[in-house]
Every structure is written in C-alpha cells, then in structure tokens.
Amino acid sequence: MADTFTFELVSPERLLISEPVESVVVPGSEGDFQVLAHHAPVLSTLRPGLLDVVLPGGKERRIFVRGGFAEAGPDALTVLAQNAIDSADLNKSALAQEIKNAEEDVSDAKDDETRDKAQGALDGLKLVRDTLGLG
C-alpha cells in the first residue's frame, strides 16, 4: 500500500476535508500536478477544475474547486479554495452559468495578461464540464 499524507480542503466558511489520502491531482494555474506522499514543498495558485482525490484503499473522490491556492509539503497538502463542491453535487445549470461568466470575463479583459488568466479559467471550466459529461 502506498504511503498516505494528510489532505486538507478549506473553504472560507469551514474546514471541509481533513483526512489521510494516497494521492491528489491538483489543477494548478500553470498546469495540473499530482501530489503523492513526500512531495517537495510547492505553493501554487489554482484554476477552476477538479481535485482528483484517491483515498486509501483506492476509492476515488472528485471535488470541484474554484479560486484559491494549494500548499504541498512532504506530509500534508492544504488546498484553500474559495468554492468547493463535491462533483456529485455539481449541477449542470450552475456550471453553465459559471462558463457564461468566464466567457464574459474573457471578452471583457482589457489587456493580454487578464485575458490569458480569464481564458485559463474558462478552459478549466470547460474541461470540468466535458470530464463530468454535464454538457
């Protein structure tokens, strides 16, 4: 059995998850990365996307997160997300609304940098939609 580490998911309102896990795939703003136990310390911002959590015993859990950052260390991963919803509870219309907002952000962007950022967020949301088949 693979080593486990502590995974904490925190939203502004409360601590959502704090439990040992085997691995987590984090949607970083510069690209997805997988965190296993004994990971080198990294601090990364997030783009909207899915956290793929593998619990000890191989059970998987998917959580949609939006906005925030992740802090990985050798024995712990902490994700601070502005929004976090279990993918099972994610509904189609809410996601469609998010995508619409993101599209508006892209077209409203005044300079290249903000447009890049907004585009990244939009791509992340679309990827979520396609992965979960909520199109």
Structure tokens at 115: 């447009």
Member of 4, 25, 55, 69 binding another protein (CB under 8 A): 69
Q: How many residues contact another protein, by CB under 8 A?
A: 24
Residue number, 76 or 132, with CB nearest to another protein? 76
Distance CA 60, CA 19 (A): 13
Distance in angstroms (rounded) separating the CA atoms of residues 115 and 121: 10
Between 4 and 11, whose beta carbon lies closer to another protein?
Answer: 11
Q: How far apart are CA 70 and CA 125, in angstroms?
A: 18
Asked if 110 interacts with another protein (CB under 8 A), we say: no
Single residue of 30, 89, 111, 112 touching another protein by CB under 8 A: 30
Tell whether residue 111 is a contact of another protein (CB under 8 A).
no
Strands 60-72 and 49-54 turn out to be: antiparallel
